[in-house]
Structure 1
């Protein structure tokens, strides 16, 4: 009999059971463990718990008699019930904690990772060749494009440029409340979802706590649904994606984004098929090159880069705190209490997270992350919050994104500067400032924008470090022109952790 193969809850696509290249035998029995302890240890968003459990149970139903699906308190208990002390294979897990677990178990053979474009050893060779310290995403992205022949015309980039960011930073159309694009794919719930929701209700009565709201399910839980979502995005939404990928509208949180990150991170989609379909759309005239390049950059560039850095930087990276930020996350943020927040931009995005467990990358970085950075919140706590509260959040996703990109806690190992701004950026890239009680051009007073005031207070707090950064020198020297700096700093000291 073939050695059983263990599937984690983020290894749900067919590629994780495909034979060859060290994979499981074609007829290998499958083991899946639903470990309730995962939800006891951390307070996850309920929509995220629902999605993961629904996806796992749907996959088990597809596998039928081939799978032994065990519901247990811990993974160890579940594995003992499923296979005893027998041998197992498992694809390389996506977190360090999971990898440590499988390596601690007798008889478990860890196979190479699946679901990514670049092998760890290939990335390590590339990174070591670049000195191993300042590993820029743009350099990595071009290397991936070349080595995988992605969006290339011979030896050069398709469309003549590697980077179309200049064309992909448009503010939202003036006066629009939503982009004029077809709606994204929406799955239909079924009996499995009803069972999951019933179980989550029971777990809450038994003391397991969640945050946020659950339902209706917005993201694919099966391979069929994920493929339908990919097809709808490529055929109907990709063309409009590029120009407005950084824009925000209060009434349109989705804009023209793909909503495929959770499907990729559950293993329901493979990154290669996503970028190849996007490239095919450009070559057939179905989407402009700037939109396709922006999408390819998100997957073959940023997603792949973050996955590789998670492993390359090592466990110590988790504890980086170059700016010495120690403030705890306030209760209103932890509880996703959008109603407590006056600042319209932050209240709008916090409500999106509360209601769906998702918002796109600019609200994550330039609103949620930027506010945390300006307030000096502990980057480890911010990382944990993003991990728990987003349907696409996993340890490997959020650790580099938050520690490196959002909170600059690695001191510049991943990015060249802190990503934060005053209210003028939010005003330019959204419709969120108009009806707000605060004004984006005000630093001091009752109508002072918390992002504008917070930006200058952040620069002042870290002036010694930031003025040595060539990309920040001019901004830091702007402090010398502020006649109301003392009043601003007094105002920010007394704001504390009150909701803005």
Structure 2
């Protein structure tokens, strides 16, 4: 039995080949990459999500081994008797006579707490290092964010642009504006739909992983066609996906980033990059992605406008880094926030997608089939519905965390509990992102083939979002009416007759007592 001085843990979302751990080889160090029941069972995950992480972990371990690092890759077969991560670390450290254990800062609070307690109680020399992935170091989060305080994302984003000199010209924003979001709200025309390139997909065989999951009775949701995973699970595949995005999709990304369509069965990602899993698993560094996108823009200035590029950069340099800061400065209290006192349960169709509301049915079905939906589907269709119907944010969190391939709690929870459910006392959003059917109709073609009529507010054929929207605004008026961003909403409500108001509230009440019927 070979002995090692140091055991280094690599979690499934820490597959960073550029980490300083790998700058030189040390024969006294053993790297541990392990599938663990603890990680498959803390929430019910989509089958594609589990397969993607397990496949990427296996590929990463293989790459390290080929680079002549000492690697121990364990599957569920080898870890089935390890009740948790500390149990596994103790067993492996003892087996290989290690005296020290090292790990990278985790990106989920539950794992941070677990490893912190392990460190306190351990007889080994346990130390932690930065994951070297995020642009804002963990140690600087407290400098930019304060607990329970709203930090305007736009201000944070501008500061990050300046700090990292991204799309800047002599201290000013390139193109004369910081934000081109007003250019990025186009709806697809029929001709636009024809022009969308097919997505970049892969053919990763995950049949052996699925066999292991079934063997160890791992409960999962969703589906995976022909036991082939279409998402990138190696750095080479991730770079290929990035190249495809830059060469074929970036040209129209910005203007259509919020658009939704019912006519996209073979292309559910539209002009989006399909890189979120690869970045969140750390196969790609965010600055590497940003620089590659900007380089494409530099090479094709007559084809690609700055509004396409800025919209993409804002999501990674701005929003992604922002929600991470919000998460860490406010946990663990953030996970319990429910300022609107939402208590309803998720309807059953969240697990099969069969509902008469076409926008919701399409978004749910796509999520269950592909483990993916873009940000407007998540926020303004699914999230909006959950907020308007008062779904418990605990249930919403668990569903989002489980269903999406890129969902890790640090990025999922602020987006869900904060941005989409307005449950966090306004820490993220300055207003609830509530919308009636009109918004869905403006940004998609969902309403054209829906059983409900988006133009009707009451009646059997009326779009449920219309009355649910007004019921939500009426119910939470005492919390919201002083908000300067939505004051006009209440002026419009007060202009309606008492009969109109009563009819809307009655319609919404009927929906709320029987959400399963929608």
TM-score (norm 1): 0.93
Look up the match of 2:17: 14
Residues 218-247 of structure 1 show CA distances to partners (whole Å, capped at 9, x for unaligned) of: 211111111110111111111110101010
RMSD: 2.0
Residue 145 of structure 2 aligns to a residue whose secondary structure is: helix
- Is the contact made by 2:452 and 2:462 (CA closer than 8 Å) also made in structure 1? yes
| Aligned counterpart in structure 1 of residue 86 of structure 2, from 60, 76, 86 | 76
1:297, 1:27 → 2: CA distance?
Answer: 42
- Is the contact made by 1:3 and 1:25 (CA closer than 8 Å) also made in structure 2? no
Q: Which moved more, 1:58-67 or 1:408-417?
A: 58-67
Residues 289-347 of structure 1 show CA distances to partners (whole Å, capped at 9, x for unaligned) of: 101100000000000101111111231111111111111222222x2x212x0011111
Aligned CA distance change for structure 1 residues 297 and 476 (closer, same or farther; 3 Å): same
Aligned CA distance change for structure 1 residues 163 and 101 (closer, same or farther; 3 Å): same
- Is the contact made by 1:181 and 1:236 (CA closer than 8 Å) also made in structure 2? no
Look up the match of 2:175: 159
Look up the match of 2:151: 135
- Is the contact made by 1:444 and 1:453 (CA closer than 8 Å) also made in structure 2? yes
Residue 115 of structure 1 aligns to a residue whose secondary structure is: coil
1:390 positional shift: 0.6
1:480, 1:296 → 2: CA distance?
Answer: 41
1:15, 1:457 → 2: CA distance?
Answer: 51
| Aligned counterpart in structure 2 of residue 230 of structure 1, from 242, 248, 255 | 242
1:110 positional shift: 0.8
2:152, 2:25 → 1: CA distance?
Answer: 36
1:435 positional shift: 1.4
Q: Which runs of 4+ in 1 moved over 3 A?
A: 16-20, 23-28
| Aligned counterpart in structure 1 of residue 252 of structure 2, from 240, 257, 260 | 240
2:363, 2:270 → 1: CA distance?
Answer: 14
1:280, 1:480 → 2: CA distance?
Answer: 52
2:177 maps to 1:169: no
1:150, 1:143 → 2: CA distance?
Answer: 10
1:282, 1:330 → 2: CA distance?
Answer: 44
1:354, 1:104 → 2: CA distance?
Answer: 36
Look up the match of 2:229: 217
Q: Following superposition of structure 1 onto structure 2, how do residues 288-307 of structure 1 map, counting pairs within 5 Å?
A: 288-307=305-324
1:81 positional shift: 3.4
* Residues matched between the structures, number: 487
Look up the match of 1:278: 293
Residue 161 of structure 2 aligns to a residue whose secondary structure is: helix
2:464, 2:51 → 1: CA distance?
Answer: 34
- Is the contact made by 1:17 and 1:26 (CA closer than 8 Å) also made in structure 2? no
Q: Which runs of 5+ in 1 are unaligned?
A: none
Residues 13-42 of structure 1 show CA distances to partners (whole Å, capped at 9, x for unaligned) of: 20235457xx99697321112111322332
1:367, 1:283 → 2: CA distance?
Answer: 35
Residue 370 of structure 1 aligns to a residue whose secondary structure is: helix
Look up the match of 1:373: 387
2:336, 2:116 → 1: CA distance?
Answer: 23
2:409 maps to 1:395: yes
Look up the match of 1:67: 71
Residues 238-287 of structure 1 show CA distances to partners (whole Å, capped at 9, x for unaligned) of: 11101010100112221100111111111111101011111111222252
1:149, 1:428 → 2: CA distance?
Answer: 36
1:24, 1:314 → 2: CA distance?
Answer: 36
- Is the contact made by 1:43 and 1:388 (CA closer than 8 Å) also made in structure 2? yes
1:179 positional shift: 5.4
2:134 maps to 1:116: yes
- Is the contact made by 2:148 and 2:427 (CA closer than 8 Å) also made in structure 1? no
Aligned CA distance change for structure 1 residues 25 and 166 (closer, same or farther; 3 Å): farther
1:493, 1:453 → 2: CA distance?
Answer: 9
Q: Which moved more, 1:282-291 or 1:353-362?
A: 282-291
| Aligned counterpart in structure 2 of residue 490 of structure 1, from 506, 512, 515 | 506
Q: Following superposition of structure 1 onto structure 2, how do residues 89-488 of structure 1 map, counting pairs within 5 Å?
A: 89-105=102-118, 106=122, 107-127=125-145, 133-173=149-189, 175-176=190-191, 178=193, 180-190=195-205, 193-203=206-216, 206=217, 208-215=218-225, 216-252=228-264, 253-285=268-300, 287-333=304-350, 335=351, 337-339=352-354, 341-483=355-497, 484-488=500-504
1:196 positional shift: 0.9
- Is the contact made by 1:137 and 1:305 (CA closer than 8 Å) also made in structure 2? yes
